[in-house]
Amino acid sequence: MITLEPGDKAPNFSVHDQAGNKHQLEDYKGKKLVIFFYPKANTPGCTAEACNLRDHWRNFQDNNFEILGVSADSPRKQQNFKEKHDLPFPLIADESKEMIEAFGVWGPKKFMGKEYEGILRTTFIIDEEGKIEEIIKKVKTKTHAEQIL
Q: Would you please indicate which residues are annotated as catalytic (active-site) residues?
A: 46
CA distance 46 to 107: 17
Three-class DSSP category at 134: strand
* H helical segments located in the chain: 44-55, 57-62, 75-84, 98-102, 144-148
Cα-Cα-Cα-Cα dihedral sign, residues 89, 108, 142, 83: positive
